[in-house]
């Protein structure tokens, strides 16, 4: 059943379609194989040179619950989430009403017309495009599983026709994806053709929005943050990883394993002439997150570059050993792919609500170095930097990514690597250096940045010391003396403060005549930058700063001092970044206002612009 498209202002039928500027939402049932079809469309658009993003809005479920995928196409590179859907691919009968209700006026719904849509769902201002997917696949394929799976590929074919994806690009992608399984490749090609041909024969030739090949993805890649993070850990030379499975961080460790199995395996010939594979890595799936961090501390203490990846609930467990690492000055890299808290919260939804917990994790006076990447490219770069900082400052470094960055595909500049890079292992003494110094004091002899030397167990004959989480003095000896205790903890405070100069600088964009500053972090960036452009079109100029590290450096403080008013955009209920700026960057509470989104879905530019508007109009 194909209804006649309704003419609306937004639907310039016969006029020029909107090029490379639209959003498609896919409503699916979890566990039916839709993810690969949706990803196929995403990659095809990327290959056509058009900036694109894919956001997976999925439930904490393996099979049966509703799941959505959003693709936003934007030739100018604005790829934060759009809530203005031009095309809804409605493949889930359970959510028809909700999905059809979300379509913009003049938009389109693609549905499986094997069965008619209930009349109550029809909207006069929306165009319904029917493709009898179940019937087409039922006729073309045998086997119930294949019939279900191939419906996804068939709708991908129909969508490709409707939005103007080059069929050759799709065919190439399938060829690459299924080169090892020709039967599967052939089924996919056939299903794709089914959908494409049906649409070509039965659906309108032009929609009011369309793709056109461009060069907007030249020298760019399509990558998720967790893969990029794992790659950063590999390139930094991490040899020991310990982790406990948790959404949305699991794929960091899993990708690290895949990368290690490819790049860190050697064939060795044994004494008896036989050849065996040797791994230059150890990956430990721990019994819990507490143990995972314990393993990282053991490995780092012994001198290996080591990391763990987790999410909020894991950070809660790790608090104990983060305090131990801080106080005993052991390097550790912790990747926190944030999800919605508190407690179990919404495991498959995004939030930036671990900021304060991470900044001050553990009992007692502590403060930790944080890195705040905004996209997968920064995940790669900051992962490498985290190891340098952790070893330079002998303290835990947490990289706060989030579910949106970690699990969704982003278009970013190609990753680059400087072969001249050498890891900063920090102050690690050899036997010769200990001999020259004439002594070794584990927590004495600090350098200009309050870092003291360490030795590695088993690697030097001299310089053994006793690491203890109990009170210790500058020699590493047990103490309950007030002055000796204070001597160490005061140096620790100065050391972490000194690290600020080594962290990534904030990203600042200034506009002439700015009436206020907007401060944000992490994955908010895309939505905020686009929102500031929207506001500028309305005549509201705003300066922009994205903080990328904690403790805050002088540039962050200067931005705050230079603005009479700042709006802090973040994804948590309590305005945690705002609080941290007040506590740690001389921020004035009366001059800082929050713009918040914390429902668990990535922000859109409209949301941010509306939030800012309502604040500055007050």
Shortest distance, position 466 Cβ to another protein, whole Å: 4
170 binds another protein (CB under 8 A): no
Scanning 121-129, 285-293, 337-345, 523-531 for contacts with another protein by CB under 8 A, the matching segment is 285-293
Helices 225-236 and 250-263: crossing angle in degrees, nearest 10, is 50
Contact 513/541 with Cβ under 8 angstroms? yes
Q: Interface mask (CB under 8 A) for another protein, residues 396-435, using x and -?
A: ------------------xxxxxx-xxx------------
Q: Which residues from 288-327 bind another protein, rule CB under 8 A?
A: 288, 290-304, 306, 320-321, 324
User: Which DSSP string corresponds to 79-119?
Assistant: -SB---EEEEEE--GGGHHHHHHHEEEEEEEEEETTSPPPG
Residue 279 interacts with another protein (CB under 8 A)?
Answer: yes
Q: CB of 514: closest distance to another protein in angstroms? A: 37
Please identify which residue in 133, 240, 568, 582 interacts with another protein, judged by CB under 8 A.
240
Pick from 22, 46, 196, 307: which binds another protein (CB under 8 A)?
46
The answer to whether residue 592 forms part of the interface with another protein (CB under 8 A) is no
Phi then psi for residue 102, to 5 deg, are -85, -15
Q: For residues 136 and 58, what is the distance between their CA atoms, to the nearest angstrom? A: 27
DSSP string computed for 52-82? EEEEEE--S-SSSSEEEEEEEEETTS--SB-
> Among residue numbers 428 through 467, which ones bind another protein (CB under 8 A)?
455-462, 464-467
Q: Name which of 569, 618, 612 is nearest 352 in CA terms.
A: 569
Restricted to residues 542-571, the positions that interact with another protein (CB under 8 A) are: none
Binding mask 472-501 for another protein (x = CB under 8 A): ------x-----------------------
**Residue 368 CB, nearest approach to another protein (Å):** 17
Measured from the CB atom, is 40 or 608 closer to another protein?
A: 40
- The span of 20-28, 107-115, 136-144, 215-223 binding another protein (CB under 8 A) equals 215-223
Rounded to an integer, what distance in angstroms lies between the CA atom of residue 307 and that of residue 271?
A: 34
Least distance to another protein, CB of residue 502, Å: 20
Nearest-10 crossing angle of helices 167-177, 144-163: 140
Which residues fall within 8 angstroms of residue 439, CB to CB, at 6 or more apart?
none
Contact residues for 99 (Cβ-Cβ < 8 A; gap 6+): 25, 27, 88, 90, 92, 109
Site membership for another protein, residue 137 (CB under 8 A): no
Q: How far apart are CA 112 and CA 67, in angstroms?
A: 17
CB of 367 to another protein, least distance (A): 19
| Strand boundaries in 248-302, DSSP class E | 265-269, 275-279, 282-285
Distance of closest approach, residue 383 Cβ to another protein, in angstroms: 13
Interface region with another protein, contact rule CB under 8 A, candidates 29-37, 272-280, 497-505, 540-548: 272-280
Q: For another protein, which stretch binds (CB under 8 A), given 194-202, 239-247, 347-355, 544-552?
A: 239-247
Please report, as residue ranges, which positions from 247 to 266 form the binding site for another protein (by CB under 8 A).
Answer: 263-264, 266
Asked if 239 touches another protein (CB under 8 A), the answer is yes
First-to-last alpha carbon distance for the chain, in angstroms, is: 50
Contact present, 532 and 518 (Cβ < 8 Å): yes
For another protein, give the closer residue by CB, 13 or 264. Answer: 264
How many chain residues bind another protein (CB under 8 A)?
Answer: 74
Q: Which is nearer to another protein, 138 or 298 (CB)?
A: 298
Residue 465 CB, nearest distance to another protein (Å)? 7
CB of 467 to another protein, least distance (A): 5
> 558-591: b or e for each residue (b if 16 or more CB lie within 10 Å)?
ebbeebebbbbbbbbeebbbbbbbbebbebeeee
Cβ–Cβ < 8 Å for 556, 501: no
Q: Which DSSP symbol is given to 399?
A: E
Interaction of residue 221 with another protein, rule CB under 8 A: yes
Q: What is the DSSP letter of 348?
A: T
Residue 379 Cβ, how far from another protein at the closest point, in Å? 13
Tokens 């100018």 belong to: 76
Q: By C-beta, is 416 or 617 nearer to another protein?
A: 416
- Closest approach of another protein to the CB of residue 287, in Å: 4
CA 378 to chain centre: 9
| Beta carbon of residue 269, minimum distance to another protein (angstroms, whole number) | 12
Query: To the nearest whole angstrom, how small is the minimum distance from the Cβ of residue 281 to another protein?
Result: 7
Q: Which is nearer to another protein, 293 or 556 (CB)?
A: 293
Segment interacting with another protein (CB under 8 A) among 275-283, 499-507, 517-525, 537-545: 275-283
Rank residues 290 and 507 by Cβ distance to another protein and give the closer one. Answer: 290
Residue 216 near another protein by CB under 8 A: no
Residue whose structure tokens are 């006076």: 365
| Spatial contact of 26 and 89, defined as CB atoms under 8 Å apart | yes
Please report how the helices 605-617 and 525-537 are oriented relative to each other, as an axis angle in degrees rounded to 10: 60
Closest approach, Cβ 415 to another protein, in A, equals 6
Q: Rank residues 340 and 362 by Cβ distance to another protein and give the closer one.
A: 362
Of the two residues 115 and 263, which places its CB atom closer to another protein in the complex?
263
CB distance 80 to 605 below 8 Å: yes
ω into residue 513 within 30 of 0, thus cis? Answer: no
Interface pick for another protein out of 57, 150, 222, 334 (rule CB under 8 A): 222
* Residue in 142, 179, 277, 537 binding another protein, rule: CB under 8 A: 277
Q: How far, in Å, CA of 146 to CA of 138, rounded?
A: 9
Q: For another protein, which is the closer residue by CB, 158 or 291? A: 291
**Site membership for another protein, residue 278 (CB under 8 A):** yes
CA dist 33 → 132, 150, 152, 311, 549 (Å): 18, 9, 7, 26, 39
- Residue 308 contacts residue 242 (beta carbons within 8 Å): yes
């Amino acid at each position: 059943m194909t209804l006649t498209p309704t003419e609306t202002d937004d639907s310039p039928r016969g006029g020029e379609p909107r090029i490379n500027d639209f959003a498609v939402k896919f409503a699916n049932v979890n566990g039916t194989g839709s993810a690969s079809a949706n990803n196929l469309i995403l990659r095809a658009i990327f290959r056509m040179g058009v900036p694109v993003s894919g956001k997976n809005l999925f439930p904490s479920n393996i099979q049966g619950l509703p799941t959505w995928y959003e693709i936003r196409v934007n030739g100018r590179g604005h790829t934060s989430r759009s809530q203005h859907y031009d095309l809804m691919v409605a493949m889930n009968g359970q959510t028809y009403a909700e999905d059809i209700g979300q379509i913009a006026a003049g938009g389109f719904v693609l549905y499986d017309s094997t069965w008619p849509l209930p009349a109550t769902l029809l909207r006069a201002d929306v165009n319904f495009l029917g493709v009898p997917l179940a019937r087409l696949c039922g006729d073309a394929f045998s086997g119930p599983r294949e019939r279900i799976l191939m419906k996804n590929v068939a709708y991908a074919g129909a969508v490709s026709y409707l939005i103007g994806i080059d069929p050759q690009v799709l065919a190439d992608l399938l060829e690459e994806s299924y080169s090892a399984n020709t039967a599967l490749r052939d089924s996919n090609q056939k299903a794709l053709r089914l959908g494409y041909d049906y649409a070509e024969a039965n659906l309108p030739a032009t929609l009011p929005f369309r793709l056109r090949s461009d060069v907007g993805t030249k020298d760019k890649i399509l990558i998720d943050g967790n893969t990029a993070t794992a790659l950063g850990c590999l390139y930094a030379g991490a040899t020991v990883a310990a982790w406990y499975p948790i959404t949305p961080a699991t794929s960091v460790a899993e990708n690290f394993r895949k990368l290690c199995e490819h790049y860190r395996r050697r064939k060795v010939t044994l004494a008896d002439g036989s050849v065996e594979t040797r791994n230059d890595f150890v990956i430990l799936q721990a019994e819990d997150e507490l143990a995972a961090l314990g393993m990282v501390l053991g490995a780092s203490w012994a001198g290996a570059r080591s990391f763990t990846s987790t999410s909020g609930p894991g950070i809660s467990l790790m608090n104990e050993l983060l305090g131990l690492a801080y106080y005993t000055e052991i390097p550790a890299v912790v990747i926190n792919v944030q999800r919605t808290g508190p407690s179990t919260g919404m495991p498959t939804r995004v939030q930036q609500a671990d900021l304060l917990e991470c900044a001050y994790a553990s009992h007692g006076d502590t403060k930790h170095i944080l890195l705040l990447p905004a996209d997968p490219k920064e995940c790669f770069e900051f992962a490498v930097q985290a190891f340098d900082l952790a070893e330079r400052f002998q303290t835990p470094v947490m990289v706060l990514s989030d579910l949106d960055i970690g699990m969704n595909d982003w278009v970013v500049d190609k990753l680059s690597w400087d072969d001249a890079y050498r890891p900063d292992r920090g102050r690690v003494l050899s036997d010769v250096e200990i001999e020259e110094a004439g002594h070794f004091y584990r927590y004495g002899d600090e350098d200009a940045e309050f870092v003291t030397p360490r030795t590695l167990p088993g690697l030097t004959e001299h310089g053994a010391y006793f690491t203890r989480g109990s009170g210790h003095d500058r020699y590493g000896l047990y103490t309950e003396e007030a002055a000796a205790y204070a001597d160490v903890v005061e140096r620790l405070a100065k050391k972490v403060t000194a690290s600020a100069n080594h962290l990534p600088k904030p990203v600042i964009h200034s506009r002439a005549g700015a009436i206020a500053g907007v401060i944000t972090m992490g994955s908010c960036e895309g939505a905020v930058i686009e929102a500031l452009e929207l506001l500028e079109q309305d005549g509201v100029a705003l300066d922009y700063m994205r903080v990328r590290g904690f403790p805050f450096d002088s540039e962050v403080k200067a931005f705050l001092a230079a603005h009479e008013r700042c709006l802090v955009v973040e994804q948590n209920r309590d305005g945690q970044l705002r609080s941290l700026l007040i506590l740690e960057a001389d921020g004035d509470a009366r001059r800082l206002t929050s713009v918040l989104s914390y429902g668990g879905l990535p922000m859109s530019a409209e949301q941010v612009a509306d939030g800012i508007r309502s604040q500055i109009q007050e």
